Amino acid sequence: MKKRVAALTMVCVLATISLAACGTADSKGTTEGGSSAKTEAGTTEAAKPETAKSEAEADAADAVDEAITEAAGKASGEKYKIVFSSYSQTAQFQVLLAEAMQDYVSEKYADTVDFSVLDGNMDSATQVGQIDNLIAQNVDGILICPMDGDALVPAVEAANEAKVPLITVNAQVNSDEVLAHVGSDDIVAGELEMQYVADQLNGKGNIVILHGPNGISAEVLRREGYENILKKYPDIKVLSEPTCNWSREEALSTTENLLQGADEIQAIVAQNDEMAMGALQAVLDNDMGDKIIVTGIDAIDDAKAAIEAGTLSATVFQDAKGQAEAGIDEILDIVKGGEPKDVSIPYVLVTKDNIADYK
């Protein structure tokens, strides 16, 4: 943490204070001729400042020793304790993000960083509890990808109060108190995906939108991106907007129900690839692959393979490796005393025309 980075500076300052205190005691303890004070009263009065100075010297010495001990910890091989709290380690992009962080730490910071990942199990209360525990453990830095942008606000406030650096990666917390955010602009992701669909439909048709968990920043911002495009195409009608919680299984069952007697659907727009793959399976199972466009976001391996196979129409590449590496670099920079800064990693639309660049 910053206090540890500043320890060496404190050593110098406190050592100076300690020496100054000692020098003052030596020069003021006797008269210029080296004799003691002449009266009992004078001797009594002189003893009081000596006692205070001795206590000050002891306090200064203790502070110097503590600062030296803390500073020496890192110098002697103690690693920075950095932890990533992921809202889920079953969602494929979150797995990719965590793995990329671990790989990057192993490659670049193996000698200086002790890195671990916590699974929030799609539960905000679990994540809040995890952050509280990490603060109590006095870890050096925390990265979080929050399940809910509002529910994690108290955790951010607690970390700031405890002076434990905390940044968000991939998804955001709805608070101005977050030190920094590393991720991609989800509004742009939504715009890229919906603009592609609008172009494929020539600005007219019926669509279904599959949403992630309500309230998570990616869901909110991607929806905003969709709306930015849809308002330019009044002839594109949204028939249904079910929440499928980033889940392939939920998207599969939901789409199966929507397709029963629903020949009017021309496109299914999923807010991530897991849901897109579930929807695509339902579409193919119902022999409607040539009638319904399916799109997603993240460019996970299954989605890229489906684009190569010609079954999935498009995805939006979200750079897990880029976000992971920038996140690790950013939290370490802050821990070492650097100025916090946001880092934006661009999204890219991926179709059959450029899939070869993203294998």
The pTM assigned to this predicted structure is 0.75
Task: For 61-81, write each residue's pLDDT tens digit.
Answer: 444 344 334 444 455 579 999
What would the two tokens of residue 271 be? 């807010």
pLDDT at 107: 98
* Partners of residue 348 on adjacent β-strands: 317
What would the two tokens of residue 143 be? 């990265």
Residue 206 has pLDDT above 60, yes or no: yes
- Could you tell me the domains of the chain? 80-184+320-345 (3.40.50.2300), 186-317 (3.40.50.2300)
CA distance 227 to 312: 22
- CB distance 120 to 275 below 8 Å: no
What would the two tokens of residue 262 be? 């629903």
- CB distance 193 to 316 below 8 Å: yes
Nearest to 189 by CA among 349, 350, 359, 358: 349
Which of the four pLDDT bands, split at 50, 70 and 90, describes residue 302? very high
- CB distance 329 to 309 below 8 Å: no
What's the whole-number average pLDDT of the chain?
Answer: 85
Task: For 114-170, write each residue's pLDDT tens digit.
Answer: 999 999 999 999 999 999 999 999 999 999 999 999 999 999 999 999 999 999 999
CA distance 82 to 202: 49
Residue 36 has pLDDT above 60, yes or no: no
What would the two tokens of residue 58 be? 């002891």
